[in-house]
Amino acid sequence: MSSSASPAQLKVLISRDQISKRVAELAEKITHDYQGETILFVGVLKGASIFLSDLARQVKLDATFDFISVSSYGNSVRSSGEVKLNKDVDQSLEGKNVIIVEDILDTGLTLSFLLKQFQNHKPKSLKIAALLDKISRRITDVRGDYVGFEIPDEFVVGYGLDYAERYRNLPDVCVLSEIK
Ligand code: IMP
Ligand code: MG
């Protein structure tokens, strides 16, 4: 089939089965680490929404949700290096066990910004759950406490991750190439 537009190529990097097994493992670890405690999951919109819903449903603890929205990438595959908080949490985090849930740790700029911001609220504890980690791209010293998969420096979409808002609903994590 021929087309004038160069079609995007999608190649499965992490299958839905691998994701589901790993998410169950992370949930088990969280359940174990926070025994007898309550937790507040703070999801970073929109990319973490699918990971958060799968993870939280397997954590056997008393848990609540909140969501924040930040912009760092716009519709590009490159980070602008700037992080802007578009929507803050709806509550005080003081004295709470907060787990920030992110789709991917890339340069680390977003999460180091959020950690700084959230520490000011004086939470009881503050940890990071990230489905993916592009460790080779890190320019800050932030690290994830519950990381699903370390991946190479490739642009990925699916399972919540987007390119220009597309592909979030793919059930697998796929490498997107041929983007101009
Ligand atoms: P960081 O601040 O550079 O760590 O960037 C984190 C954000 O960049 C993530 O929440 C994603 O929105 C976005 N991002 C980084 N790498 C990718 C990718 O491969 N695919 C889709 N989004 C990405
Ligand atoms: Mg994101």
Q: Dig out the tokens for 33 from the structure.
A: 């680490």
The Å distance, Cα 107 to ligand 1 centre, comes to 8
- The closest residue, in CA terms, to atom 15 on ligand 1 is 106
Atom of ligand 1 nearest to the CA of 113: 2
Average pLDDT value for residue range 14-43: 98
Across the chain, mean pLDDT equals: 92
Q: What is the SS3 assignment for 97?
A: strand
**Stated pTM of the model:** 0.92
SS3 state of residue 31: helix
Confidence check: pLDDT of 137 > 60: yes
User: How many angstroms separate the alpha carbon of residue 104 from the centre of ligand 2?
Assistant: 7
pLDDT in tens, 40-56: 999 999 999 999 999 99
Ligand 1 pocket list (CB less than 6 A): 47, 72-73, 79, 102-110, 155-157, 161
Q: What is the pLDDT of residue 146?
A: 98
Residue nearest to atom 11 of ligand 1 (CA): 104
Going through 5-61 in order, the beta strands assigned E by DSSP cover 9-14, 38-45
150-166: average pLDDT: 97
**Nearest residue (CA) to ligand 1, atom 16:** 106
Any catalytic annotation for residue 103?
no
Residue 82: predicted pLDDT:
73
104: phi then psi, degrees, rounded to nearest 5: -150, 140
- How would residue 3 be classed by pLDDT, with cut points 50, 70 and 90? very low
**Whose atoms come closest to the Cα of 49: which ligand?**
2
Minimal CA–CA distance to 146: which of 69, 61, 51, 46? 51
Q: What is the pLDDT of residues 59-94, one digit of tens each?
A: 999 999 999 999 875 555 555 567 889 999 999 999
Query: Quick one: what percent of the chain has pLDDT higher than 90?
Result: 86
